[in-house]
Structure formats: C-alpha cells, structure tokens
Structure 1
C-alpha cells in the first residue's frame, strides 16, 4: 500500500475513532413515537446540518445526544465511549457542549465572565476560593479568563469582552453564547438554531464564525431553519421528517433531492 493510500486510510480510521455514532435510536413519549431507528455517523472536522419541518424530531434528537432524554432503544457512542446511560453532567465531562434556541446570558456579568461560566466543569477550586485570596483559586480564574478571551478572539468579538449583555445586539450575544460553549474545547458542539432572531447581516457574520470553528477534533452539529446559512456552512446535511431520517448528503445533493424538496424545501413557485 503506497503512502497516499495509507494516509487516506489512517485519516478515515481517525475520523471513526473520534466520530459520534448513533445507531437505531428510537424515542417515544407514551404512545407518541418521536424518533424512529435513527442511525447517523457525525464526523469531526466537518460541519453537519440537521434540518426538517417543525415537529420532525430535531430538538428531541439533540436532547438524546446530551442525555436530557433517555431513548427506549439504540446506541450513542463517542469514539469508544458508550454514552447511552450517562447523565448530562457526565457527557459534559466527556466533552459535550451545546447552545439553545434562546440566548441565556447573565445580565450582571460581562461577556468574558459569561464565557467563563462555561468552564465550570473543568474548575477545581471550591467555595472557599470565592471568598479568600487563595493561590489555587487565583491561578484557576486567570486560566479561565485566558481561555474565555481566546474563545472570544476566535469568534472575532474580543473587543466586547468587558461589555454587558444588555448593551449588545442579538448577533453579538449569540456569538458570546457560542464562545461560552467552545471555551472548554469540547469534542462535540451542538448548536440549536443559532440564527434565530438575527438579521441578514448578523446571520452572515455568524456563518463566517461557524466556518472558523471547523476543526479535526470537533464534531459540530447545527440545527437550523435558515437554509441559506445551512447551505453555506455545512459539509453534510441530514434531513428528519416525522422522526425518521429522510435523506443525507452534501448541500447540493439535499437541494436537488425530490423528497426533501417535497416535504421541506419547497420549490421556487411555492
């Protein structure tokens, strides 16, 4: 086997080792079947889109990934780790991070301080460090501030680090929330409708920021209704409909898939 082929095989093996694997995932509430045998491989180094009509099961799928919902059947693996019985805090320790549809920043904290909140799971200082000038607590706070500033710099909003959320527009607040989600260098980042409530200019800036997050060590999944954003930033898109996987493919393949057009995208005349 020559060197280029070996490199391709090695890269494929690495992706599988770090991928988020979902097999035969089913979820129901009472007699209502929400997800039907979903099987996906969410790969690092790519931005994955998850789309579908309202009620398709997108948020329920996210909640299964993070442990908020316990599916009745199926398997969720991150590399060699089986996650299906792990609670949300345990999955956070393994590197799961997510945002929600509505921005939730503390108005009494600066942007940098809000981002530092996302590092709590990595912090070791106890309550006593909050009241006494202990060396360990000081070092940890300095480290967390440095990581927070790095996340804001990566998203291009380091200049508002000392501002308060009430003084900033929605687009910047959304980026600050994403900054909080990435400050701890997650292995899996789940973004739930990050463009909700943003205007066209803010959505464009968001798209450019999301592209900067693409990393060989990060599984990045975006649920979104803004199709221009999804088609712009995503490498692969999965389409859900009534809790079932309808289609998977590149943006071009999804745009021309007749079933996807019929149930979700519509046509130009519509």
Structure 2
C-alpha cells in the first residue's frame, strides 16, 4: 500500500495584504504523479516555493516522510530528496549539456573544494561517481548526441530535458516540475509525457504544475485544483473534468477568453 510522502496541512502564505495560498491541505502518495492546476495567479508556484524552502509559510505544516520541513533552507530540502525545476529554464547557456547536468551533483559531493583542488583520492572517486551519474542521465533523457553542445544553442524542448536531467542527477525521491510543457510543441510534449512516466517507473514521485490540460489529464494520477490560493477540488482526472467548480473557475475561464 502506498504511503503519504508529502503532507501539506493548512499551509498559508501571505504577501502583505494578499493571501497567495489560503489554508491549503493535500497529500501526495509515494509513486504518484500528482498535479496542481488552476487559473493564472491562483497560487500554484507559491505552493511549490513553500514546499522547497524558497518561501516559509506563515501558517500550516509541510511534512515530508514524517519530518517537518517548513522553515528549512532549500539546500536542506534538496538534501532530503526533494528537487525541482522552474517555470523559466535556469541553465548555464555557455556550458555543455554534460556540464549542466554535472552542476546538479555538487550537493552530493562528500569532499570539500580544497580536496578537489589538490585531487585527493576521495575527490577523484567523487568525480568518477558524478560523471557516471551524468552518463546515466544523458542516456535516460536521450541527450547523448548533445553532451558536448553548448546548452544555449539547443532547441527549447531539448533544454527542458537538460533541466530535468540535471534535477534527476541529484537522485531525488520527489521531483517537482513547474510547467514542464510550457513552450513545447506537440512532439516535444509527447516526449515529455513519456519521460515523466519513465521517471515514475524509476520509483520517483512526481508533483507538477501545468497549464496544458490535455497533458495533465493524461499524465496525472490525482489532482488538486486551486483558485485564489484556496483548494476548490481534488480527485482523479476523471473526477476533476466533471467538477462544476473546476469547470467554472478553470475551464470556464478559458471559454471566456475565447469570446
């Protein structure tokens, strides 16, 4: 039986007089692909920022595998196996694909920078282990042919895969994806879908925000819908598609835009 790995209880985040996240509660099970959806400005990315330590919520609990992580630094949270990507790609454009993936391994290093400079046996073992992990991600994400290419010279869809490969190089237990399909064409989105399923099949739990509703309904096991920072629905994709509050707040807003 799957266990609850990530539990948010009454999480509230305010910016001055604006309540961006309002008493949000959700439970993400081990091995799930869990989605958070809602209109623009609903508070979705703020939720991710509260989970990953970029923001500290004023109220509520963020519990990871039985440990309270609210108030921890992003570094401490990554060290516990929670890794994220961002809505806007954050790669080193002049560095190669392999070097970008390697940059995600720094948190796993057991040696200090000084050991790296003087090339101790421990630092050499670290480097060999890290490059082995890079090679694994190049293969997993089908990026081998681009390994030596400057990342900034590559198509947007390839850069998205590089960003995910860098995150996976950290060996996460929970991978958080912030709008991974943004800017992708249909073919690239299909590759993304296949990749997310492959990540789940490796035993990694996935939590994502996404505006591509077709993609969300196909890839997720369970969804939470928020509007103005509050949860308005939760359930399977089939349940969410039939929920009147969701149709009005989210799907209905798209209809209004077409008028």
How would you bin the TM-score normalised by the shorter chain?
A: over 0.9
Q: Residues 145 and 205 from structure 1, CA distance in 2 versus in 1: closer, same or farther, beyond 3 angstroms?
A: same
Distance apart, 1:201 and its partner CA: 1.1
Q: Please say if 1:108 is aligned against 2:94.
A: yes
**Aligned match of 2:219:** 233
RMSD over aligned CA atoms reads: 1.7
Q: CA contact under 8 A between 2:93 and 2:153: conserved in structure 1?
A: no
**2: CA distance between counterparts of 1:115 and 1:58?**
27
Q: Which runs of 4+ in 1 moved over 6 A?
A: none
- The farther-off stretch of 221-230 and 146-155 is 146-155
**2: CA distance between counterparts of 1:218 and 1:75?**
23
Q: CA contact under 8 A between 1:44 and 1:215: conserved in structure 2?
A: no
Query: After superposition, where does 1:68-87 map in structure 2 within 5 Å?
Result: 68-87=54-73
**2: CA distance between counterparts of 1:226 and 1:165?**
25
**Aligned match of 2:33:** 47
Find 2:205's aligned residue among 219, 235, 238: 219
Query: Residues 187-221 of structure 1: CA distance to partner in whole angstroms, max 9, x if unpaired?
Result: 22111111111111111111111111114743311
Distance apart, 1:252 and its partner CA: 1.2
Aligned-partner SS, 1:38: strand
**Aligned match of 1:24:** 10
Aligned-partner SS, 1:105: coil
- The farther-off stretch of 57-66 and 210-219 is 210-219
Distance apart, 1:107 and its partner CA: 2.3
List gaps (5 residues or longer) in structure 2. Answer: none
**2: CA distance between counterparts of 1:56 and 1:221?**
17
Aligned-partner SS, 1:131: helix
**Aligned match of 2:231:** 245
Q: Please say if 1:196 is aligned against 2:182.
A: yes
Distance apart, 1:112 and its partner CA: 1.3
- The farther-off stretch of 241-250 and 156-165 is 156-165
Query: After superposition, where does 1:1-270 map in structure 2 within 5 Å?
Result: 11-12=1-2, 15-16=3-4, 19-215=5-201, 217-266=203-252
**2: CA distance between counterparts of 1:133 and 1:32?**
52
Q: CA contact under 8 A between 2:7 and 2:27: conserved in structure 1?
A: yes
Q: CA contact under 8 A between 1:20 and 1:41: conserved in structure 2?
A: yes
Q: Residues 238 and 216 from structure 1, CA distance in 2 versus in 1: closer, same or farther, beyond 3 angstroms?
A: farther
**2: CA distance between counterparts of 1:193 and 1:210?**
13
**2: CA distance between counterparts of 1:133 and 1:71?**
42
Aligned-partner SS, 2:118: coil
| TM, length-normalised to structure 1 | 0.89
Distance apart, 1:135 and its partner CA: 2.3
Aligned-partner SS, 1:214: helix
Q: CA contact under 8 A between 1:22 and 1:74: conserved in structure 2?
A: yes
Query: Residues 223-242 of structure 1: CA distance to partner in whole angstroms, max 9, x if unpaired?
Result: 11111111111111111101
**2: CA distance between counterparts of 1:203 and 1:40?**
27
